[in-house]
Structure 1
Amino acid sequence: MDAVQITVLALIQGITEFLPISSSGHLILPAQLLGWQDQGIAFDAAVHIGTLVAVMLYFRKDIWLLIRDWTLSLAGKGTTEYSRMAWYVGLATFPAVIFGLLLKMYGIDEAMRSTHVIIATTLIFGTLMGVADYFGKRTTEMSGMTLKSAMMIGFAQAIALIPGTSRSGITITAALMLGFKREVAARFSFLLSIPVTMGASLLVILDLVKSTEVVIWSELIAGALISGVSAMLCIHFFLGMISRAGLMPFVIYRLLLAVVLLIII
């Protein structure tokens, strides 16, 4: 790949991984518009690791408190909001893991990777996000998170395995429907993304180990750095604006994206 392709694809991954606009919907645009060949699983692994490191660095204090209090709760030192949250994040990850394994086992994951599926999910779940943002009560704090609500958000995350849905979009939508504040919904969504992103990165790395693809390390390092820095800036920007502007700008963008995809296919 040349420098332009590396930069564009890494920025797409870094920006769209955490914004509620669907990374899969955007990753097909360069190939459609510019005729680029597939970047390969090695590059996919690199940019996924970049975004994983970004979210872990951004929430490093929360992650430390989650791990610390969860460990103390296992040792019988009592429970805290962070220890409960650690359990909620862990348990809410299982629906996506189970659903993902079933899709891979029956080969459905590859069948769903079509432009028509992406257009439909971009449109449907973008509209649903708008409804949730407009009608949601937006009163519940993070302390109001329960196992039931966490699992419902976790099941929503499993739906995001369908291309075009947007993992952050569907989990924030579910949290808003449950009455959580916008910033709380986004924060829990990002924390919930860590185990899933880590698992996805490991799967891509395993595929890379099995493949005979030639690895060009300079491309991978550049891609990881660009996706990581752009992802961290994106998380900071999104958390700062969501409480003020809401999700409607992203809803409108998704609807326009669906129209653009429909035109170019």
Structure 2
Amino acid sequence: MPLLYLVIVAIVQGITEFLPISSSGHLVLLPALTGHVDQGLLIDVAAHVGTLAAVVLFFWADVRAAVAGIPSLLRGRIHDQGAWLTLCLIIATIPVIIAGLILKVTGLSDLMRSVALIGWTSIIFGILLWVLDQRGAEVRTAPEWTLKHALIMGMWQMLALVPGTSRSGITITGGRGLGYTRTDAARLSMLMSIPTIIASATLLSLDLISAPSEAVIRDAAVVAILSLLSALVALKLMFRLLKSVSFTPYVVYRLILGAGLLIWAYT
């Protein structure tokens, strides 16, 4: 696969995975816009691994606390913040895993990869993000995350299985609707991505039956590294911007993208 195309795939995945503009939607559109064949499952898995590494590095303090809390959680003791965070992340991940398995078994996931659908979801969920971001109070912070709120945000996350919705966008929308501050809603959304990306990459890996060639492995390594770097840049940019601006710039981008896709799809 051409190196330039691999670079584009990695950058698109890395940037859009954590910005509320839908990584899956962009990756579905990429082959159609560039004229290349679909990059394949191994490249998709590699891109997910790269973005997973980025969010782990960016939120290393939270990840370390969550991992340290696992032994206490296994013993049924939730006396520290790390164990509580781990439990909340598990609760938040269960809904999307169940929904993802249902879509995969029924084959419905393949029926949703259309340009028109991505256009509509970009617009609809972009507007929803703007409404809840503008109207939502900022009265809660990440350490106040409860099991009830984790489950609610997990239910929101299920909608991300529809291309164009944006996993980060829809979970941030849910967090803002629950009254979490912009930065803390984004922080919880990013932490929720860790078990979700692991589950997604594992599910995709199950479809890799034959052993890939050396060239494909090399391509995957390039994509993973570049996805890692571009995701780190995207995370730093978003959290820096959230100190002074709302999510409105991302909503505007979604509206423009969605309108363009609908024009393309219907003409």
The yes-or-no answer on 1:149 pairing with 2:154 is no
Q: TM-score, normalised by structure 1?
A: 0.94
Q: Is residue 24–residue 118 contact of structure 1 (8 Å, CA) maintained in 2? A: no
CA deviation after TM superposition for structure 1 residue 70, in Å: 3.7
The whole-number CA distance in structure 1 between the counterparts of 2:54 and 2:213 is 26
The whole-number CA distance in structure 1 between the counterparts of 2:76 and 2:101 is 34
Residue number in structure 1 paired with 2:263: 263
CA deviation after TM superposition for structure 1 residue 244, in Å: 1.7
Q: Which amino acid in the other structure matches residue 94 of structure 2?
A: F
SS of the counterpart of 1:257?
Answer: helix
The whole-number CA distance in structure 1 between the counterparts of 2:148 and 2:178 is 10
Gaps of 5+ in 1: none
The whole-number CA distance in structure 2 between the counterparts of 1:178 and 1:253 is 24
The whole-number CA distance in structure 1 between the counterparts of 2:198 and 2:80 is 25
Gaps of 5+ in 2: none
CA deviation after TM superposition for structure 1 residue 236, in Å: 1.7
Q: Is residue 70–residue 84 contact of structure 1 (8 Å, CA) maintained in 2? A: no
CA deviation after TM superposition for structure 1 residue 164, in Å: 0.6
Residues 160-184 of structure 1: CA distance to partner in whole angstroms, max 9, x if unpaired?
A: 1111100000000000000000111
Runs of 4+ more than 6 Å apart: none
CA deviation after TM superposition for structure 1 residue 138, in Å: 1.4
Q: Is residue 78–residue 84 contact of structure 2 (8 Å, CA) maintained in 1? A: no
The yes-or-no answer on 1:121 pairing with 2:121 is yes
Q: Is residue 69–residue 79 contact of structure 1 (8 Å, CA) maintained in 2? A: no
Q: TM-score, normalised by structure 2?
A: 0.93
Residues 29-80 of structure 1: CA distance to partner in whole angstroms, max 9, x if unpaired?
A: 4323321111111211211111111111222221111121342354466512
Residues 111-157 of structure 1: CA distance to partner in whole angstroms, max 9, x if unpaired?
A: 11111211111111000000011000012112321111110000001
Residue number in structure 2 paired with 1:94: 94
Higher mean alpha-carbon deviation, 113-122 vs 178-187, is at 113-122
CA deviation after TM superposition for structure 1 residue 228, in Å: 0.8
| Match runs of 1:242-253 below 5 Å | 242-253=242-253
The yes-or-no answer on 1:159 pairing with 2:159 is yes
Q: Which amino acid in the other structure matches residue 151 of structure 1?
A: L
The whole-number CA distance in structure 2 between the counterparts of 1:76 and 1:261 is 50
CA deviation after TM superposition for structure 1 residue 232, in Å: 1.4
Residue number in structure 2 paired with 1:177: 177
CA deviation after TM superposition for structure 1 residue 205, in Å: 2.0
Q: Which amino acid in the other structure matches residue 152 of structure 1?
A: I
Q: Is residue 94–residue 154 contact of structure 1 (8 Å, CA) maintained in 2? A: yes
What fraction of aligned residue pairs are identical, expressed as a percent? 40
Q: Which amino acid in the other structure matches residue 221 of structure 1?
A: A
The whole-number CA distance in structure 2 between the counterparts of 1:4 and 1:62 is 35
Q: Is residue 32–residue 264 contact of structure 1 (8 Å, CA) maintained in 2? A: no
Q: Which amino acid in the other structure matches residue 106 of structure 2?
A: Y
The yes-or-no answer on 1:62 pairing with 2:65 is no
Q: Is residue 120–residue 262 contact of structure 2 (8 Å, CA) maintained in 1? A: no
Question: What count of residue pairs does the alignment treat as equivalent?
Answer: 264
Q: Which amino acid in the other structure matches residue 83 of structure 1?
A: A
Residue number in structure 1 paired with 2:41: 41
SS of the counterpart of 2:261?
Answer: helix
The yes-or-no answer on 1:222 pairing with 2:214 is no
The yes-or-no answer on 1:84 pairing with 2:84 is yes
